[in-house]
Structure 1
């Protein structure tokens, strides 16, 4: 993406995006791309009517995500206080190549190599599908140690689960959420099970209040 947008939770940041979207439907043209999903994930809620271009773009992206994840346009909320939601459906084939964090990291390369190595012994078997997931992990409050929260997340090890890039995103009132990528082997890992039985129970629930599936794409 030629233009980088920052501080989209502030009025100044939204003004920059508002000016850029003048005369445009999406960030990079007339179709939804990974650039739109990156920016969409950084916008905390639908902008006010004082930002008509951003508001229209936000609705378009939400609509496209709703087609990929029926009934769950902005993600699926699962917390250790509410009943678990249904698993999201896989994204449409047109979104299969979306790389939500951009450049591939060393961890991503290592994860891909490990997946390839695991497939070699059973080459005659039908290949298992893989999915890329963007997950929001929210702390209890502004006093939660986010470093320990991320350590707790990454400490979870499962066959077919590979943690990727992460970043902290401001939510408001001094609170930040952890946004993290993960790659899963579909036959081995259920994201719902990962959230319900590992991320939102002891010992992780000392730091983690809830988890949201922001995007779920077949790769």
Structure 2
């Protein structure tokens, strides 16, 4: 199955992102990384206020604007991030 957030410029994609971040601070791990940068860049504008987890994350990553290049990790294709498709157990 597919994984990832889908189109992060669409309400559906932002909803997936919001749900994903409901119990996480970052896209991967416990510190800001290139994973956050990649997803942040795909989200073209701040999420709506009702998607509070996504908005909190967006504003937090935005505060790292100056350090973006020095954050750890390797930026991968956007589809590599986000929720894995649960049916895909092979």
TM-score, with length taken from structure 1: 0.31
**In 2: Cα distance, 1:40 partner to 1:62 partner:** 8
Deviations 1:64-122 (A, max 9, x none): 223x27xxxxxxxxxxxxxxxxxxxxx44xx2x5432x27xxxxxxxxxxxxxxxxxxx
- The offset of 1:47, in angstroms, is 0.7
**In 1: Cα distance, 2:12 partner to 2:4 partner:** 14
Equivalent position to 2:74, from 99, 114, 138: 99
Give the match's secondary structure for 1:21.
helix
**In 1: Cα distance, 2:22 partner to 2:29 partner:** 12
Large movers: runs of 4+ above 6 Å? none
Based on CA coordinates, which of the two structures has the bigger radius of gyration?
Answer: 1
TM-score, with length taken from structure 2: 0.71
Partner of 2:43 in structure 1? 43
Partner of 2:63 in structure 1? 63
The alignment's C-alpha RMSD in Å is: 1.9
**In 1: Cα distance, 2:42 partner to 2:34 partner:** 13
Give the match's secondary structure for 2:38.
helix
Gaps of 5+ in 1: 70-90, 104-219
Deviations 1:16-74 (A, max 9, x none): 111010021111132012211111111010111011000000011111223x27xxxxx
Give the match's secondary structure for 1:15.
helix
Instruction: Report which structure shows greater RCO (CA 8 Å, sep ≥6).
Output: 2
**Pairs within 5 Å for 1:103-142:** none
Alignment size in residue pairs: 75
Q: Which structure has the highest strand share of the two?
A: 1
Partner of 1:17 in structure 2? 17
Q: Which structure has the highest helix share of the two?
A: 2
Q: Is the 8 A contact 1:5 1:39 kept in 2?
A: no
Gaps of 5+ in 2: 78-90
